[in-house]
Amino acid sequence: MDFEATRGQAEESLLDRASPWVLLLALFGIPAAGCVALLLLVQIPQFLNGQLGLLLFAAEIACLIILFVLVIVLRACLALPSAPRGFYRDVLDFLALARWHPAIKAALIALLVLPPVWYIHGSPGFIQLLQILGWRVLSSGDFRDGLQGIAVSWQLALVGGVPLLFALHMLSRWKPKNRFLPWLLLPLLFIGTAIGVVLIVAIVHH
């Protein structure tokens, strides 16, 4: 029992010493890995469709793994007594998905759920293929094209919505006593995301 306690203290001490560098790595590494993973998100259905080589597919998987590991390590560092406070801590909490206001969590869930729902609603054949073919649907080119459309809808929604999500998170920390303000601002977040998506599509197709 003493050995386990000593080992635990040694591991915590090591993490505590490395914490400033880990926090700095997470501060830049999580946004970088997230951006690359989001950029390559469409490569997964393209790989299933035989339109992409193994290299880009492997890069996408590697970015997702790095992102997951960085978030886990960041959360461990933020749980230490020596964790920073103030503005720096608020930014790191956002990256670690830690201590979020419930409205921020609801907004993130909406950004992840609504794009595929919107896409599937506009493509009823997507569900019909799934119902008819079952697991064999992965061999259908139309279904894989649908997966690519869902990936693109996620890309647009997250690129347009995450900056606004961050702003709402920081506002909730700036006004911590006003617990209802983030809920009241959620409609503005979704409107801003929709405007951002339209602007991104217009720029891309210009």
| 31 closest CA partner among 150, 165, 153 | 165
pLDDT of residue 133: 66
- Kindly report the pTM of this predicted structure: 0.85
Asked if 95 and 125 sit in the same domain, the reply is no
Asked if 105 and 91 sit in the same domain, the reply is no
Distance CA 144, CA 124 (A): 14
Q: Name residues whose C-beta falls within 8 Å of residue 63's C-beta, 6 or more positions apart in sequence.
A: 33, 36, 37, 40
Asked if 79 and 107 sit in the same domain, the reply is no
Asked if 85 and 134 sit in the same domain, the reply is no
pLDDT of residue 82: 86
Asked if 138 and 55 sit in the same domain, the reply is no
Asked if 30 and 111 sit in the same domain, the reply is no
Q: For every one of its 206 residues, what pLDDT tens digit does the chain have, with 9 covering 90 and above? A: 454 555 555 556 777 888 999 999 999 999 999 999 999 888 877 776 666 667 888 888 999 999 999 999 999 999 988 899 999 999 999 999 999 999 999 999 999 999 988 888 887 777 777 667 666 666 666 677 788 888 999 999 999 999 999 999 999 999 877 888 999 999 999 999 999 999 988 887 76
| Counted domains in the chain | 2
